[in-house]
Amino acid sequence: MAEEIIFSIAKNILSKLGSYALQQIGLAWGVKKELKKMENTMLTIQNVLVDAQKQQVSNLVRKEWLQRLKVVVYDADDLLDEVATEALKRQRETHRA
């Protein structure tokens, strides 16, 4: 269950990372390399979650790992939202000037 939620969020992050607008932000702000690394990390997380679902092994180590992974995925999602918000602010400021 928790794997499905994290998988869904990771998929959403990948969608955001692949968006044209975010690619342009990456170029403009000089963070394209970091965005690509983040995309690769999200792909790895998705693959690990698929494997975890297949195994369906319930133990404390796995639960703790999934909790930590959930925090990382949520933080990445929040970061992308902040980047998008900042980009909109800058775009509005540019249009006003």
pLDDT above 80 (res 22)? no
pLDDT at 57 over 70: no
In the chain, the number of structural domains is 1
Supply the pLDDT for residue 76. 87
> Cβ(1)–Cβ(67) under 8 Å?
no
pLDDT at 1 over 60: no
pLDDT given for residue 97 in this prediction:
65
Neighbour-count burial of 6, counting CB atoms closer than 10 A to its CB (0-12 exposed, 13-18 middle, 19+ buried): buried
Calculate the average pLDDT of the chain. 77
- Which residue range(s) make up the domain with 83? 2-96
The full DSSP string for 14-80 is: HHHHHSHHHHHHHHHHT-HHHHHHHHHHHHHHHHHHHHHHHH----HHHHHHHHHHHHHHHHHHHHH
Instruction: Write down the pLDDT at residue 2.
Output: 60
What's the pTM? Answer: 0.60
For residue range 58-81, what is the model confidence (pLDDT) as tens digits?
677 777 777 788 888 888 888 888
